[in-house]
Chains A and B, each alone.
Chain A
Amino acid sequence: MVIETKAREELSFAVIDAITHKHNVQPGAVIPVLQEIQDAYGYVPPAAIQRIAENMAVPASELFGIVTFYAQFRLQPIGKNLIKVCHGTACHLSGAERIAETLAQAVGAKEKETSQDGKFTVERVACLGCCSLAPCIMLNGEVHGRLTPEAINKIVSQVQETKILTPAE
């Protein structure tokens, strides 16, 4: 993968400090803090965990335990575009596996992978809750439904041409 995780010296502690400061008064705020860190960087940089631990007086091991427990948190950066493939019951029955297969070919990354060119990260999710439009995917926060293998190819080529960016950038 072409993207490297940020080293401690590259991270702006100002961003992290502002987030921890905002939440510090609330009990049990570590999860919202980690969520905002991920919003800011697109992932939770390991170096940020150290800083949060210092700021909030929570052991880094405990933070690491939380980050690895919840599926939402990522310790690796993601590609420019994030695609979540829905594998809910309705999508499964309508061929989610075939959608995933086509997508893997089209973007060059299987589920839980980032493409070599850093353009796409593909994730597998349990359910997007748009069951009536099955099978569906979420591309950069937007749901696309009633998909066919052809529709997937069309969507991917549109993204490659127009350069859609993630909110994280």
Chain B
Amino acid sequence: MLPARNKKDRNWTIRVGLASCGMAAGGRKVYDTFSTKLRDKGLDVELKQTGCMGMCYNEVLIEVSSPEGGHVFYGHVTPEQVEGIVEGHLIGGKPVTEWVIPADEIDNLLAKQKRIVLRNCGVVDPESIDDYLDAGGYQAIEKVLDSMSSDEVIDEVAKSGLRGRGGAGFPTGVKWSFTRKSLGSQKYIICNADEGDPGAFMDRSVLESDPHSVIEGILIAGYAIGASEGYIYVRAEYPLAIQRLEIALAQARERGFIGENILGYNFDFDMSIRQGAGAFVCGEETALMMSLEGRRGMPRFRPPFPAQSGLWGKPTNINNVETLANVPWIILHGADAYNNCGAEKSKGTKVFALAGKVARGGLIEVPMGITLREIVFDVGGGTSSGLEFKAVQIGGPSGGIIPASLADTPVDYESVTETGAIMGSGGLIVMDESACMVDVAKFFLNFTQAESCGKCTFCRIGTLRMLEVLDRIAKGEGKEGDIELLEELAEGVKRASLCGLGQTAPNPVLTTLRYFRDEYETHIYEKKCPAKKCQALITYEIIPEKCPGCGLCAKYCPVDAVSGRRKEPYFIDPEKCIHCGLCMSVCRLGAVSVH
């Protein structure tokens, strides 16, 4: 996806995007079909697998580049189209224009992006260390070992202004210097890849597409703080990321980038992968360390901070995947090149997983300081439904909902925090008019309630009480005083919880109350759901004039509430109907209405 390459492809090259999204859309079959076709035709074409190209809305994606340097992308590629592309483009020399993603669409998508973390994603083969080396890989660690002291590395990272991309935004250079200054011969680096926010897939994509840059970042961090051992803690739900990391680690070890006397210098470093076991709270650093030690992942009080007493009581530095992937680039290009872009207090770029009701969803990287409006409309192309843009949800369950009226908020740590949300790790969900804010708040609280480890009373029980209130509001049983009760509980949960999970759990509720209070009031006092989402407050009906009597709705109804005779309008029994909306979603003629 990068317009400028480090190395020009010599031959015709076909890249097939095979990160999880590409695989899920059927990318492997497309790759295999190309492989067979190219062999049958005896064509001298390089077929490569690559990671995430960023345009997930177009999966399966392939890129075809010619020896002259021109390249085009094909979107929604099926195995059936492979022959046409081979015949028309590779043999005939002309792109099959009807399947090509228009150049202006790609220009629009890329115009406001700046790819530092994602520099190799969708370009290199994630399972080839040679590809990474050709793209300038492992030059940063060599530079560091050859000509920089630990303090110089820390100074450079501090000067770049890089802040922790896991969500909290703590300055990375400062964090490193704390661990560096801690006494102790054994220190650890942990790469936090326990990406648990629903709606976030940045870390997964980076690990699946460019694992070596994360490994190189860990090595540099290890050198800077004086650690000799590292762990990559990846959630078990990401099997492909784990598989590619394992391959990358084995390759790096074989080439002497991991092990003793790395590249011939007096620096030893080893690292291994640990799989998370499905606990959201383990994204919190003290809980993560508990889990690495083989215990229940429950957070503990800080201080002592991990920099003083972390894994097995040793000084430990924990950084997120994206933070570490930035590091090699900063070392190679210099702190100034990095802090040249971004906002005043938030330098560099941020990767977002842009999803939800957005036309061009995918993995994007934008300079800090860009506005939400630019992200949603210029990069994302507006809503996918054509309905009006209502809000974005940023920061996952710890974050909040920012309404369309605040779309000009610049994306930097301070400005986002002012809205009541948080920057978070990079989940960005676009919502249109069809989203009910009570339902959204309930959705997130349901998640944090289930994921609370149970240590702190307010987080364990307070969130449950909040959920009960939201539940009854959504059922039309809300009463006067419920909003105030929610606010009071939210305050308590924020103040009386030990870790970030509890302290931020009320954010989705508080931000929806702040910007969409009227929606709550409509639910409570008028017993109506304006977005027609809350099941107890809506009814479905079949419009007789539009219903041809095909019976599809009756076939799908889980409770046999729909009945009728073929070729005559069907009817929904309001007594039996559970308001699931299946009939509406299967009807191709729009004959089911909701009100």
Chain A min CB distance to B313 (Å): 11
A125-B237, A126-B447 known; A89 vs B427 contact (CB < 8 Å): yes
Closest to A105 in B: B558
Chain A min CB distance to B381 (Å): 13
CB–CB B24/A133 < 8 A: yes
Chain B min CB distance to A73 (Å): 7
CB–CB B275/A88 < 8 A: no
Q: Which of A9-17, A112-120, A140-148 contacts B (4 or more CB under 8 A)?
A: A140-148
Q: Which of A24-32, A75-83, A156-164 contacts B (4 or more CB under 8 A)?
A: A24-32
Closest to A92 in B: B443
Q: Within 8 Å CB of B196, what residues of A?
A: 126-127
CB–CB B236/A35 < 8 A: yes
Please report the C-alpha to C-alpha distance between residue A117 and residue B237 in the assembled complex, in whole angstroms. 27
CB–CB A70/B57 < 8 A: no
Closest to A73 in B: B277
Chain A min CB distance to B377 (Å): 18
Chain A min CB distance to B363 (Å): 8
Please report the C-alpha to C-alpha distance between residue A27 and residue B485 in the assembled complex, in whole angstroms. 46
CB–CB B20/A72 < 8 A: no
In residues 409-437 of chain B, which contact A (Cβ within 8 Å)? Answer: 427, 429, 431, 434-435
CB–CB A136/B24 < 8 A: yes
Kindly state whether residue A7 has any CB partner on chain B within 8 Å. Answer: no
CB–CB A89/B201 < 8 A: no
Q: Within 8 Å CB of A150, what residues of B?
A: 586
Q: Within 8 Å CB of B237, what residues of A?
A: 125, 127-129
**Chain A 87-130 against B: per-residue CB contact (8 Å), 1 yes, 0 no?**
11110111101100110110000000000000000000111111
**Chain B 195-225 against A: per-residue CB contact (8 Å), 1 yes, 0 no?**
1111111001000000000000000000000
**Chain B 376-411 against A: per-residue CB contact (8 Å), 1 yes, 0 no?**
000000000000000001001000000000000000
Contact of B238 among A72, A129, A134 (CB under 8 A): A129
CB–CB B296/A127 < 8 A: no
Q: Within 8 Å CB of A71, what residues of B?
A: 277-279
Please report the C-alpha to C-alpha distance between residue A129 and residue B447 in the assembled complex, in whole angstroms. 15
Kindly state whether residue B56 has any CB partner on chain A within 8 Å. Answer: yes
Kindly state whether residue B100 has any CB partner on chain A within 8 Å. Answer: no
Please report the C-alpha to C-alpha distance between residue A72 and residue B237 in the assembled complex, in whole angstroms. 9
Closest to A133 in B: B24
Chain A min CB distance to B280 (Å): 7
Q: Within 8 Å CB of B277, what residues of A?
A: 31, 34-35, 70-73
Please report the C-alpha to C-alpha distance between residue A62 and residue B441 in the assembled complex, in whole angstroms. 35
Q: Within 8 Å CB of B434, what residues of A?
A: 93
Contact of A66 among B296, B427, B431 (CB under 8 A): B296
CB–CB B312/A27 < 8 A: yes
**Chain A 33-47 against B: per-residue CB contact (8 Å), 1 yes, 0 no?**
011000000000000
Closest to B434 in A: A93
Chain B min CB distance to A95 (Å): 6
Q: Within 8 Å CB of B393, what residues of A?
A: 89
Please report the C-alpha to C-alpha distance between residue A149 and residue B434 in the assembled complex, in whole angstroms. 19
Closest to A58 in B: B294
Kindly state whether residue A53 has any CB partner on chain B within 8 Å. Answer: no
A132-B57, A149-B585 known; A89 vs B580 contact (CB < 8 Å): no
Counting chain B CB atoms within 10 Å of each CB, which of A101, A129, A142 scores highest? A129
Q: Within 8 Å CB of A141, what residues of B?
A: 239
List 24 A-B residue pairs with CB atoms under 8 Å apart, sorted by A's residue number.
A27-B312, A31-B274, A31-B291, A31-B294, A34-B277, A70-B277, A70-B297, A87-B198, A89-B393, A93-B356, A95-B581, A104-B558, A127-B198, A128-B237, A129-B195, A130-B21, A131-B355, A131-B429, A132-B355, A133-B59, A143-B23, A145-B21, A146-B25, A148-B586
Given A32-B274, A73-B277, A102-B558; 15 other pairs, CB 8 A cutoff: A27-B312, A31-B291, A32-B275, A66-B296, A69-B279, A69-B297, A89-B199, A90-B355, A93-B431, A97-B580, A127-B199, A128-B237, A132-B21, A133-B25, A150-B586
Closest 9 CB pairs of A and B: A132-B56, A71-B278, A131-B355, A28-B294, A70-B277, A89-B199, A143-B24, A88-B198, A72-B278
